[in-house]
Homo-oligomer: A and B are copies of this chain.
Amino acid sequence: MQSKSLDRPEPGVELRLEIQALTAEHAWRLDHGAADTLHELYTRDGELLGLPPSDLVGRDAIAAWGAARVQLPRVSRHVETNHRLWWSEEGLRGTLYASVFRSETTDAVDTTPLMVGDYEDLYAKEEGRWRIRSRVIRKAFRAVR
């Protein structure tokens, strides 16, 4: 997925910031009790891969996961940095780094991240808005708890 299409221009500033806003909104909903609306940020055939226990394929699967996720007392922050964006043959590709802080109780005192790694994203425009078509989670560091 690293190959860039040389005959395509670099993504412009408006597109870069729109994608950053999309990924920040994704993290915000997940971290602030709105995981049940997360599927709105994916295309209809959107995928979230590399998430235990199983991959989520299609917006309906993501909606079902989010409806269960929002019931948990979990505290989380998905800290996102190092955005990269380019046009590939499949469309608009991006990567970002994620540091995921997580507690299964509302007494959140462990400030070491559960994982530090990458999101490998493919984006597509649907109904006039950029959405996530595919996100692959790649863990680099994983805390033993």
Contacts and interface: CB of A to CB of B under 8 A. Distances in A.
Interface in A108-145: 108-117, 140-144
A101 interface: yes
A99 B115 CA distance: 14
Given A81-B79, A108-B141, A28 B95 contact: yes
The interface size bin for chain A is: 35 or more
Contact of A117 (B77, B84, B103): B77
A44 interface: no
Given A79-B82, A79-B99, A81-B80, A141 B24 contact: no
A20 to B, nearest CB: 7
Contact of A21 (B75, B84, B101, B117): B84
Contacts of A111: 99, 112-116, 141-143
Nearest to A114: B111
A69 interface: no
A27 B79 CA distance: 16
B116 A79 contact: yes
A81 B81 contact: yes
8 contacts: A13-B13, A13-B17, A28-B82, A75-B140, A77-B97, A79-B81, A108-B140, A110-B141
